Structure 1
């Protein structure tokens, strides 16, 4: 098939490796020349030829040369331990081993690929090959302690590339080769490209990351990719937008995570996602399933799908087929089955049986997986019938690992237990060993095992035990064994802990510079305090941990950090050294501003603390929504989003806790314009925007804002934006809307939409202040002993799936607002103070409390420099209202004015310190965080899109930091919109409604004639 493409499309690109491209003609010609040389050296049809080369062009030419000689190939890792290589070479028994270098202890006749270009001798022809002949050997884990090699056929692979089986089966397919080379998944990737006339992308990274995927799409036009479930999850968590531009994604190897699948489908609804299932003995895939959003809600997980062509699936109980809906063992038959296990006829007979299916004898492979066939023929996974586990996509037999450990360490017995990861599925192995002599320590056990075991089988830790605990049924008590490791940081990942007043986490980096940044990321990913000179592998780090480290560092330092560099420099000190000394070509996407790192303000520290304590926190999500009537040019809108992203540096900064709370400028790509599925009504579209934005924003890696468009019908759509509060405030809403509209107008006119970026330190320069002892004392005097605010009427409770917050809206008339301004001027105070006094009176009346604290944000935009920038330019003040302040009359306004002045004088005292000074650290809702009042006196966010009319829609918050918020927004005609938001698990809707309406009534009463005394009336006149 490859030779046919070389004849019909000789100049088409077959392989890309860095800057090197190889055409199909060159690939076929060179493979033929190498095959002729292999034949001269004794390679014949039926031989099983090992290839021990790194991933690269020579590897692909070599395996094709082996096939042209009529033999089968087996790809082995050059970094495997010598003992494993020796064991496998003995099983293959080939006259030739293709390798560039082998350990001295490995005995083999080596053939090294030539470096010079070559052509086959005149008259040379490939060996005659049939579709049922051996093609390749895949080695997997075996229960006896020896790897087992599944020998598969040409037909078993080519069956997957029939029309309609896999997505992207065209001669334009471009496939990055990210799977480990011994896997059948590597065969999938390679032949996906070469059997369709497409292009295979090769690099030296151990697996595909978000950075690598972006590079493959942007640099080479990658169209499809295969990922293990674990790797798919990691990229979703760390860099979900790296999938943009692909035509299809296939994931599998382990059960898919519905949560991660849902996030992918929500973010990339246009990219088909398939779940691929199949043991290596059935060659790559047994079933495929196009995943739909509804699959994420199934109680037993994402379906495995229906059989691929040439394959049949049988669910058996013993030898009897199970009816639809009944769980049994998944057995497979058809063209994909392996011929045998190399050198193990007994195991072949055990696992490949002949059973009667529909009255005919059928050769099947017993997978050991449990499953159920639904009435529609779709296969569903139900677990394992034995001990086999999948670790990051690798099939691992704990028994094989136990055999190897018992042979390598001074132990009497070993039991290997899979330990669950964050999603509850196994993500590493723990080896529990009984030493040969009681009390002996197993010093450097991992170092010994690392020299003899392949990396994916290596346990994360070796734990010495006196004996193995048993359950009441006499079975190994794995729960008790794992519980005994709970105190070991390198076994169980510690959760992030919140900051206390900006102090770094225990064990976190406290130095300066690159070493501190790298150490923080190591600590965060590995969940432990990382010694600066220790390899992350020696600390129990997995390959996916390595991917997370590289993804987060790439975001923080503003340039790619390849996996290969981490493996070359595996400690904090080594990787930091490389980052500081990396050549220019590695320094892509550097920050474009000299002030690339500045301290955080007190309010930003609060938002960062909330995120670190709970990354799923939604209290920092600021929503903007407009109904747009008229045509929207998608390309111009995306250009406008890019312009806003480039100009406002807080939107592309990482907000970091260590070595001190700070912003670090990151040259991260702007958020894509997400076009969500169309809706039948504006109301449904507004709700769709809200649902789409109910997902994590990661402030530490500059994942700060999203943009979505929902078509409604005709030329109507809903445009939504969410921004994290750590980079946003009330004024930012109108700034962002104005800039977005201006950039859209420039883009439509064909002009450059970009403007010079704003200095990052504006946020700190105009918000930061120095707290002092006098301010501390004032905070303690005013706020200590403030009682809890108990809301009347128990809340109705939050039904499953219901929003976390509710919203009550009303308004203060424009005439009342005008009167209030004059009234406040007469009293020598501001409308804000008068409104706060009225709000206090309303809360006191509804709750019956005469003493409580109201938190209130204060703008810190004291300079023209900050009038037109996006950022978090606020401080929080805490005003204690009690006694005469709650009367709702002129004397109350004057008393509240004095309380506000005192609170503003202490606004630089950080929240954590305020809680300490007031003794308020009790419960999840201290008195300081029960109600909030805000006068948002900034301009209305007007979005001017040329050719369209826009209407702002204020949405309820996704969550609230306080039980009840009252916010006042200026209206188009001088009125003040009153939004009372409340947590439905804390405040009854009747209470929120009562407070909203009593507040408006209190304002009306305050400015009415009856509220004025003689002196006040005279001054008013």
Structure 2
């Protein structure tokens, strides 16, 4: 079983002048990628990296990011990606939990790094700050950690999943669920801290394909499609929510895609059918798998649209075993619901520095034919259909999927309970007007003065933004005197406040003054599920996000027959500003129509 960085180096020796990575007009050949990575790897080894050392990588999506990830592997380390745009306190907590002693940064991201002793610069060797340590001579093997990916677990605390080289090799060596062509171009779109990036990055670099990097920043769907077309992307992964929106609003931009993969949550069969009927040449994969079993455990790959009410998650990928068990760990019959357990070479080493949590979820394989092997308990309920494919039914526990991220509500509940005014908290999912799941929270605060209770929801959202990534901050927080319980002493969820909520911004309410402003306020209210939106309220401060933005822009185009990009909304995020921009465009369109008549 080969090491991932060795496979990339071997590919560089075969095709040194082929383009390995492209990003916004800049490129790296395979020879340049391997040479630059080897240079940085030497510096990392001099700093003491080796034997699976955790190296925090704090870089934006760029060519140096890919070089750095490869360099960490060459040095014998395991990369831990920290997004420089996420809250600083979150990065500090992850670094503290991981006990990382090394980090790679750029001049732009140096200030985003928590205090780590050994700091190396991806773009400037002279700026390195480290005291050389004795090199770790531990040999790099298939079981050496390759990366650490933090994910929420059943305890509510993020845990670092340690993934070895063997697990990634099993994913990309000879996958039967995807046929990689020499001319394929893969798009790297997901956050590198999201485990699907493992597939996006290392599959093309090991196979000699081109890896195209998407732009960073706000998710503008039109720009994403432009990148797909300009880069000639042929293999594309989309999270479920993004997939649904692209099919709804930019289906015509997917003509160049040969193989589209989606997953992370329950897929809509209608959207998959629409895609595949529009592009009969296209191969589609529904990929399923927990981070703890390295990206994909099962895949459903087909040239034929799904005919049933669900999109199957398919069957085990190479190097993976699956078992559907009841509560007594006995196999269930086809057609019966059970919990999915996965095993094989893809199973992670465990949770970083958490032996108890590792022992709870990573257990001995119950199949006597696999002595010494381990399994991971996914917590997902599945059923095997008549064809032998698995169908995902939902979580056995309370974990949710928000924007493609696995979320344990207790993570947010525990953070809310650290606020002095919160006595109890319940976090649940709500499907918004765009069909996208988002979090809402109900907090028990006792008897608070009316004015204080009215503003507490905003206060708590600001409080959470300081410590949690954006997808974990509830869209709405509802303060109540007490949480209602049922006869069994459990939370009575049916008695919790409805999700439609009042304005959740600090600025004063300014009433719409024109017919256009009133119409926009009505459209915004429907999209955001918020009453009485003022013309100076910011769309994103109200809880809007990229998926809702796409829905809103589609409604505006349908109502006013004027096309507007997501960038227009980002630049004009209030009704007042958007009404002015829309009015200008309507006047311009009318003037052009008048000139056409005169001609």
TM-score range, shorter chain: 0.7 to 0.9
Map of 2:42 onto structure 1: 36
CA separation of 1:231 and 1:282: change in aligned 2, threshold 3 A: same
Residue from 320, 334, 359 that aligns with 1:349: 359
Q: Structure 1 residues 518 and 420 mapped into 2: Cα distance closer, same or farther (>3 Å)?
A: closer
Describe the SS at the equivalent of 1:330: strand
Which among 527, 530, 540 is matched to residue 537 of structure 1? 540
TM-score relative to the length of structure 2: 0.85
Distance 1:383 1:393, change over 3 A: same
Distance, in Å, in 2 between the alignment partners of 1:550 and 1:309 is 42
Q: How does 1:699-710 map to 2 (within 5 A)?
A: none
What pairs up with 1:100-111 in 2 under 5 angstroms?
Answer: 100=106, 101=109, 106-109=114-117, 110-111=119-120
Shift of 1:71: 0.7
- CA 1:13–1:365 in structure 2 vs 1: closer, same or farther (change >3 Å)? same
Within the candidate set 305, 313, 318, 1:309 is matched to 318
CA contact (8 A) 2:54 2:102 kept: no
Q: 1:58 to 1:294 in 2, by over 3 A?
A: closer
C-alpha distance in structure 2 between counterparts of 1:577 and 1:392, whole Å: 32
User: CA–CA distance in 1 between the matches of 2:208 and 2:88?
Assistant: 37
2:3 alignment partner in structure 1: none
Is 244-253 or 536-545 further displaced after alignment? 536-545
Corresponding residue for 2:131?
Answer: none
Separation in 2 of the partners of 1:215 and 1:294?
A: 26
Cα contact 2:445–2:482 (8 A) shared by 1: no
Q: Which residue matches 2:56?
A: 50
Question: 1:841-865 CA deviation, whole Å, 9 max, x = no partner?
Answer: xxxxxxxxxxxxxxxxxxxxxxxx9
SS of alignment partner, residue 251 of structure 2 = helix
Q: Which residue in 2 is equivalent to 1:446?
A: 461
Distance 1:553 1:185, change over 3 A: farther
Matches within 5 A, 1:565-584: 571=574
CA contact (8 A) 2:528 2:548 kept: yes
- SS of the counterpart of 1:325? coil
Q: Structure 1 CA distance, aligned partners of 2:306 and 2:489?
A: 39
Contact 1:249 1:274 in 2 (8 A): yes
> Is it true that 1:98 corresponds to 2:104 in the alignment?
yes
> Any conservation in 2 of the 1:537–1:570 contact (CA below 8 Å)?
yes
User: What is the rounded CA distance, in whole Å, between the counterparts of 1:160 and 1:579 in structure 2?
Assistant: 49
What corresponds to 1:16 in structure 2? Answer: 22
Given the superposition, is the C-alpha separation of residues 380 and 293 from structure 1 closer, same or farther in structure 2, using an over 3 Å criterion? Answer: same
Partner of 1:455: 470
In 1, the alpha carbon distance for the partners of 2:434 and 2:302 equals 20
For residues 505-904 of structure 1, the aligned pairs below 5 Å read: 510=514, 522=524, 525-528=527-530, 530-548=533-551, 560-562=565-567, 571=574, 597-598=589-590, 760=593
CA, structure 1 residues 488+580, in 2 after alignment: closer, same or farther (shift >3 Å)? closer
CA-CA distance at 1:428 after TM superposition: 0.8
Q: 1:552 to 1:477 in 2, by over 3 A?
A: same
Match of 2:190 among 173, 179, 189: 179
Contact 1:72–1:134 (Cα < 8 Å) also in 2: yes
> What is the aligned partner in structure 1 of residue 81 from structure 2?
75
Answer with 553-562 or 386-395: which moved more: 553-562
Structure-2 separation of matches of 1:205 and 1:473 = 48
Q: Deviation of residue 217 (structure 1)?
A: 3.6
Aligned pair partner of 1:249 in 230, 236, 260: 260
Structure 2 counterpart SS, 1:597: helix
User: Counterpart in 2 of 1:729?
Assistant: none
Query: 1:568 Cα deviation (Å)?
Result: 7.6
**Deviation per residue, 1:862-884 (Å, 9 max, x gap):** xxx9xxxxxxxxxxxxxxxxxxx
Counterpart check, 1:478 vs 2:480: no
- Alignment partner of 2:348 out of 338, 351, 354: 338
Q: 2:94 corresponds to which residue?
A: 88
Q: How many residues were matched structurally?
A: 569
- Tell me if structure 2 keeps the 8 A contact 1:210–1:242: no
Name whichever of 325-334 and 526-535 sits farther off: 526-535
Give secondary structure in 1 for the equivalent of 2:295.
coil
CA contact (8 A) 1:509 1:517 kept: no
Alpha-carbon distance in 2 for matches of 1:509, 1:247: 50
In the alignment, what sits opposite 2:292? Answer: 281
Q: The residue matched to 1:78 in structure 2 has which SS?
A: coil
Answer whether contact 1:434 1:465 (CA < 8 A) is retained.
Answer: yes
Could you tell me whether the CA contact under 8 Å between 1:535 and 1:570 is conserved in 2?
yes
Q: Greater shift after overlay, 227-236 or 79-88?
A: 79-88
CA separation of 1:160 and 1:552: change in aligned 2, threshold 3 A: farther
Give 1:383's aligned residue: 394
Matches within 5 A, 1:147-296: 147-206=158-217, 210-291=221-302, 295-296=306-307
- Do the aligned partners of 1:168 and 1:247 also contact (CA within 8 Å) in 2? no
- Give the distance between the partners of 1:550 and 1:13, measured in 2 at CA: 37
Counterpart Cα distance in 2 of 1:342 and 1:281: 12
In the alignment, the residues of structure 2 paired with residue 2 and residue 575 of structure 1 have an alpha-carbon distance, to the nearest angstrom, of 49
Q: Deviations over 1:673-696 (max 9, x none)?
A: xxxxxxxxxxxxxxxxxxxxxxxx
8 Å contact 1:250–1:273 — kept in the other structure? yes
Specify the structure having the higher radius of gyration (Cα): 1
SS in 1 for 2:13: helix
Q: Is the alpha carbon distance of 1:388 and 1:509 closer, same or farther for their aligned partners in structure 2, counting shifts above 3 Å?
A: farther
Q: Write the distance in 2 (CA, Å) between the matches of 1:65 and 1:376.
A: 44
TM-score when normalising by structure 1: 0.51
Structure 2 Cα separation of the partners of residues 248 and 209 of structure 1: 22
1:327 to 330, 334, 337: 337
Q: Structure 2 CA distance, aligned partners of 1:48 and 1:509?
A: 57
Following TM superposition, by how much is the alpha carbon of 1:408 offset from its aligned partner in structure 2, in angstroms? Answer: 3.5
1-structure distance, mates of 2:271, 2:283 = 15
Q: For residues 520 and 329 of structure 1, do their structure 2 counterparts lie closer, same or farther at Cα, with a shift above 3 Å needed?
A: same
| TM-superposed deviation, 1:9 | 0.8
Contact kept, 8 Å, 2:55 with 2:100, in 1: the verdict is yes
Structure 2 CA distance for partners of 1:238 and 1:106, relative to 1, 3 Å:
same
Distance, in Å, in 2 between the alignment partners of 1:323 and 1:216 is 46
What is the distance in 2 between the residues matched to 1:516 and 1:136?
51
C-alpha distance in structure 2 between counterparts of 1:451 and 1:195, whole Å:
39
Contact between 1:160 and 1:166, CA under 8 Å: does it hold in 2?
no
For 2:132, the equivalent position in structure 1 comes to none
1:65 and 2:71 aligned: yes
Q: Which structure is richer in relative contact order (CA contacts within 8 A, separation 6 or more)?
A: 2
Q: The residue matched to 1:85 in structure 2 has which SS?
A: helix
Seen in structure 2, the aligned counterparts of structure 1 residues 233 and 412 have a Cα distance that, compared at 3 Å, is same
Mapped to 2, the partners of 1:509 and 1:225 lie a distance apart of 45
Q: Distance in 1 between matches of 2:243 and 2:312?
A: 17
Q: SS at 1:371's partner residue?
A: strand
